[in-house]
Structure 1
Amino acid sequence: MRIGELARRAGVSPRALRYYEQQGLIRARRTANGYREYSEADLKLVTEIRSLLTVGFTLEDAKPFVACLRAGHESGADCPESVEVYRRKLAEIDDEIRALLVRRAEVAGQLSTACPGCVLTKQEKT
């Protein structure tokens, strides 16, 4: 399939596909007239990349998942390198949550100081 069809089926722009190609995540074959040509396997790669990006992974994070799929695995998560990326990302998210909880407590404290008589709503208390 050509780049436009892959873009439409994957729900991305042709520009994004060219960028993924520049980053080494997908590889287009070239026809005699120079058009990019993609396969169903490329659609699976792009779908994997998009699903990872949607939940906060970077293109760099996606590389082990793409390599895993290229190696013939059914899922990009079937390889130890991908599992390690999941673990690292979860640790990053946990760190972000802890930092947000600290910031939240600081802002709630500042609100209490600024407005001693104010009653915090249930949402503000948690």
Structure 2
Amino acid sequence: MLDELFPFKIAIDATAIAGTSLWSLALYLGFSPVSDWLMEQMSRWFNFAERALYTSSEEYERTRRGREAQNSFYASIFSIIPFLAVGAFCNYLVEIGLDRSWAISIGLLACVGGGVYELGRRDGQS
């Protein structure tokens, strides 16, 4: 399908996509306080930037709850991007260091480790 749209060949490496996704999930779970902080800051910034678009304070207050919920959703989606970038870098380092065949295996081990760490961290908080 992509070959019909573009006049050049686009090579999509499934191993790199899977490894990057696993590493980014592991980092997202392992650094969940950082991801929560990042979501909060992005949500604050989106709310601040959107406030500048309104000239009427009545209109702003009338639609405030819906816009804040929408901005929280966008912040949660966009907070994944830094973890994808760092996950791609970690996957690249594993591919260089060990081999392509180990990239997904180590990414899966990192995911399990990050999940166990997050469960232990939440259990320790309560």
TM more than 0.5? no
Q: TM-score range by the shorter chain?
A: 0.3 to 0.5
Larger radius of gyration: 1
Task: Tell me: higher relative CO, structure 1 or 2? Use CA pairs within 8 A at least 6 residues apart.
Answer: 2
Q: TM-score, normalised by structure 1?
A: 0.32
